[in-house]
């Protein structure tokens, strides 16, 4: 493993505008912390609205030539980027663990996941097509072509610092769009590192511009006000998403948003109980529970609820909590003190309303922001922990008495990103899958994320899809040509 000091030394800490690493126009910086210690890792350039406009200027200058760049060559840039990410996986995983906190082996898994978006979209770059048809009345021909939407603003979250960047950059590059990327202020380093890789593998100047900033709203407002911006992609909370949708409406931007979740995890009486517990561990504990796809509510058939709860609690009790670079650690820190405070509040509310703690429910007495893996059974239906996105290693469990009740409880939320269902009954699998109001479903497995699959939700969980064949569509517009013959 590369030393922490060498990793931090290697990563760029400036803005990236028009192919150049540069300080902000205000010449200011902000601090990036290690959530395992609460101490500073380094400082990076603190961009502002002037820097954002310079980045958009670069996008505008590069857009015409980039849109005409051969698709195969765009794909080759992504392919080489994929190869370099894999080659530097130890460096990137260490960097990710330092700035975000997840255990090193989990960071390594994210590096592979993130790289796959570049490989997937390198192959999609050459498959952008149109169609030709005879008009129904026979008096002409109908032609369509798909073209890049243009300069795009990509806003990424802190919880998957590399994968959320590549999931947006990949299709934008493949489609021929230039972009301004605004990474989360809590975890900007992985985005800066992958930007350096793309620069090295030959991405033309002006195609990718990165603005790190401590004030996202102030910095990006000028971009939303500028008619040259044509697309916005955001991953984050529904609350912020609503605000950005309003800003995007001024110039009627093409938008895609992956917003909050409140994922139900349904375990029916016929399920393989041990498989359901292992699936629950994956769905709940991946990324320390800090994922929009994390299982938020466990709905378990009454006849097996007690056994499932006890087995899950026993399993979580065995998981080692600590700094992500320590040997054997499976659960890292939460991202900051606000996350700890929110978790405590949700757990206290659940306990106050009759929930029974089977394990955990305490903050660890050490530096950093650590919270014990927690299982709470017999949670009241009105407990806040069932209604709000937890973003912590806390598993609240409620029971149900019938299939229909399980479906109604699962759908009783304004969110609809993902759900998990464990059952051996094939007919039930399809019935429940059709009834659940979500964009994704894990059937007898605790993970749905895959670069080759469309990622996204319904209701307050978002608009559009990322990944899969559908992912590149978010960066293309369809032009129709009526041809007289």
259: Cβ contacts below 8 Å, ≥ 6 apart = 234, 235, 236, 237, 238, 241, 292, 415, 417, 457, 460, 461, 462
Give the span between the Cα atoms of 14 and 177, in whole angstroms.
23
112: Cβ contacts below 8 Å, ≥ 6 apart = 86, 89
Q: Given the DSSP bridges, would you call strands 356-359 and 374-377 parallel, antiparallel or unpaired? A: antiparallel
- On whether the CB atoms of residues 293 and 467 are closer than 8 A, the answer is no
Active site residue 310: no
Give the span between the Cα atoms of 436 and 110, in whole angstroms.
28
In angstroms, the Cα distances linking 51 to 15, 62, 165, 340 are 8, 17, 20, 34
- On whether the CB atoms of residues 212 and 193 are closer than 8 A, the answer is no
Active site residue 258: yes
The SS3 of residue 464 is coil
Packing angle of the helix pair 104-124, 163-175 (nearest 10 deg): 10
Tokens of 114: 């993130």
- Please provide the DSSP assignment of 246-314 as one string: HHHHTTT-EEEEE----EEEEE-TTS-HHHHHHHHHHHHHGGGG-STTSEEEEEEEHHHHHHHHHHHHH
Catalytic residue among 99, 110, 124, 258: 258
Give the span between the Cα atoms of 397 and 206, in whole angstroms.
50
Catalytic residue among 292, 330, 389, 466: 292
- On whether the CB atoms of residues 425 and 444 are closer than 8 A, the answer is no
> Catalytic site residues?
258, 292
């Amino acid at each position: 493993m590369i030393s922490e000091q060498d990793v931090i030394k290697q990563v760029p800490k400036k803005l990236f505008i028009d192919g150049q690493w540069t300080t902000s126009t205000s010449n200011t910086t902000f601090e990036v912390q290690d959530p395992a210690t609460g101490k500073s890792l380094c400082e990076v350039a603190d961009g502002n609205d002037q820097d954002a406009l310079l980045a958009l200027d670069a996008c505008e200058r590069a857009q015409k030539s980039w849109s005409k760049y051969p698709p195969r060559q765009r794909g080759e840039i992504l392919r080489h980027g994929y190869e370099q990410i894999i080659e530097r996986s130890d460096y990137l995983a260490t960097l990710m663990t330092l700035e975000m906190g997840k255990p090193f082996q989990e960071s390594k898994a994210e590096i592979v996941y993130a790289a796959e978006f570049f490989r997937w979209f390198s192959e999609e770059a050459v498959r952008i097509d149109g169609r030709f048809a005879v008009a129904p009345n026979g008096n002409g021909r109908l032609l369509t072509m798909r073209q890049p939407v243009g300069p795009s603003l990509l806003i990424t979250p802190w919880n998957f610092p590399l994968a959320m960047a590549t999931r947006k950059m990949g299709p934008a590059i493949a489609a021929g769009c230039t972009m301004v990327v605004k990474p989360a202020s809590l975890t900007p380093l992985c985005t800066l590192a992958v930007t350096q890789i793309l620069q090295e593998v030959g991405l033309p100047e002006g195609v990718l511009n990165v603005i790190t900033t401590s004030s996202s709203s102030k910095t990006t407002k000028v971009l939303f006000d500028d008619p040259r911006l044509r697309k916005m992609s955001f991953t984050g909370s529904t609350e912020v998403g609503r605000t950005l949708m309003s800003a995007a409406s001024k110039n009627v931007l093409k938008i895609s948003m992956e917003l909050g979740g409140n994922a139900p995890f349904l375990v029916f009486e016929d399920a393989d109980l041990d498989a359901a517990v292992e699936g629950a561990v994956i769905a709940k504990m991946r990324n320390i529970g800090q994922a929009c796809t994390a299982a938020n509510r466990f709905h378990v058939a009454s006849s097996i609820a007690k056994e499932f709860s006890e087995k899950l609690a026993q399993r979580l009790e065995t998981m080692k909590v600590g700094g992500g670079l320590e040997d054997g650690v499976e659960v890292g820190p939460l991202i900051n003190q606000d996350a700890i405070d929110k978790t405590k509040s949700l757990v206290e509310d659940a306990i106050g309303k009759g929930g029974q703690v089977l394990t955990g429910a305490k903050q660890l007495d050490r530096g950093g922001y650590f919270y014990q893996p927690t299982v709470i059974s017999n949670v009241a239906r009105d407990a806040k922990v069932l209604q709000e996105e937890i973003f912590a290693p806390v598993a609240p469990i409620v029971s149900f008495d019938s299939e229909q009740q399980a479906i109604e409880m699962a759908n009783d939320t304004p969110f609809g990103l993902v759900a998990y269902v464990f059952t051996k009954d094939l007919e039930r699998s399809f019935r429940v899958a059709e009834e659940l109001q979500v964009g994704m479903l894990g059937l007898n497995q605790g993970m749905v994320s895959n670069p080759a699959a469309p990622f996204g939700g319904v209701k307050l969980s978002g608009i559009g899809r990322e990944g899969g064949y559908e992912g590149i569509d978010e960066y293309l517009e369809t032009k129709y040509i009526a041809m007289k013959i």
